[in-house]
Amino acid sequence: MPFSSQLNAVAICRTPYKQKFGIPRQPGLVNAVGYIEFEPAFNHLDAVRGIEQYSHLWLLFCFHENVAQGWKTTVRPPRLGGNEKLGVFATRSTFRPNGIGQSVVKLHGVVQRKGKVCLVISGMDLLDGTPIVDIKPYIPFSDAILDAKGGIAQDAPELMPLIYTPLATEQINHYCQQEQYQDLAELITGVLAQDPRPAYKKAKDDAKLYQVALYDLDIFWHVTAQGIEVLELKATTV
Ligand code: SAM
């Protein structure tokens, strides 16, 4: 059936995740705090009146960094080690016909920031700058299906143990004293314990030096026999 729709962002999501690599693969896995900043046409407290009576929200958003690359009928989910293909509609792939993602996040409140109405949220799996196309309350009696089958993703991913070099420990302690980085220690632990590496890397000896970007910091790490070792932090240069 012919159908045409121009989706506009109602808000932009601000998160500590500055690159796709390292972002949790689903919401609720890492307790990072983010902000939903309403666009000018939706920047009214009236538009969110009553929202604080809900503890969680559905965010509908655009995978804006991937839409230009289009989509394919089948994808190789990371959960299956990248070896097996599933239909795009049988996965949460970011390469989708309309580039739409959806995530349940925790709502902490409504605030005004730099003249903008903002929702304070946590647990999102979104890149900083992600356009939000709609927001709806999460309704447990209908949305929570306790005996639902989770297919290839029945359980949350296993966590990796974390080790910190003395330099990384000192740097994290230093940054955490500043207000804008107060959750940095928890954030680094939460993100790296998910082991952001692609599945094919996990399957073999891996001597690579990795980096994830959180806030305006690059976190360098590698994998040892004991787990993931955080090596050092550097201010992002670009
Ligand atoms: N929960 C959502 C869903 O099921 O639609 C997203 C799942 S998707 C597998 C999560 C991944 O999307 C993240 O780990 C990150 O790599 C990627 N991602 C997040 N925001 C994005 C954006 N704006 N553009 C492209 N990729 C993004």
Query: For the segment 53-80, what is each residue's pLDDT rounded down to a tens digit?
Result: 999 999 999 999 999 999 999 999 988 8
Residues of the chain with CATH 2.40.30.70: 11-143
Residues of the chain with CATH 3.30.2310.20: 162-235
What separation in Å is there between the alpha carbon of 19 and the centre of ligand 1?
Answer: 11
Query: Closest ligand 1 atom to the C-alpha of 23?
Result: 14
The residue to mutate among 30, 95, 125, 132, having the most atoms of ligand 1 within 8 angstroms of its beta carbon, is 125
Q: What is the pLDDT of residue 98?
A: 95
Query: Closest ligand 1 atom to the C-alpha of 25?
Result: 14
Query: For the segment 157-194, what is each residue's pLDDT rounded down to a tens digit?
Result: 899 999 999 999 999 999 999 999 999 999 999 999 99
Query: For the segment 88-115, what is each residue's pLDDT rounded down to a tens digit?
Result: 999 999 999 999 999 999 999 999 998 9
Q: Which CATH architecture has domain 162-235?
A: 2-Layer Sandwich (3.30)
What separation in Å is there between the alpha carbon of 28 and the centre of ligand 1?
Answer: 13
What separation in Å is there between the alpha carbon of 97 and the centre of ligand 1?
Answer: 14
What separation in Å is there between the alpha carbon of 166 and the centre of ligand 1?
Answer: 33
For the chain, percent of residues with pLDDT exceeding 90: 88
Pocket-forming residues, ligand 1, beta carbon under 6 Å = 20, 23-27, 63-66, 92, 94, 101-103, 125-127, 130
What ipTM was reported for this prediction?
Answer: 0.99
Q: How is the chain classified by DSSP, letter by letter?
A: ---------SEEEE-SB-SSTTS-SSTTSS--EEEEEEPGGG--GGGGTTGGG-SEEEEEEE-TTTGGG---SEE--GGGTT-S-EEGGGS--S--TT-EEEEEEEEEEEEEETTEEEEEEES----TTEEEEEEEE--HHHH--TT---GGGSSPPPPPPEEE-HHHHHHHHHHHTSGGGTTHHHHHHHHHHT--S-HHHHTS-----EEEEETTEEEEEEEETTEEEEEEEEE---
pLDDT over 80 (residue 151)? yes
Question: Is domain 11-143 annotated with CATH 1.10.290.10?
Answer: no
Residue 231: pLDDT band with limits 50, 70, 90: very high
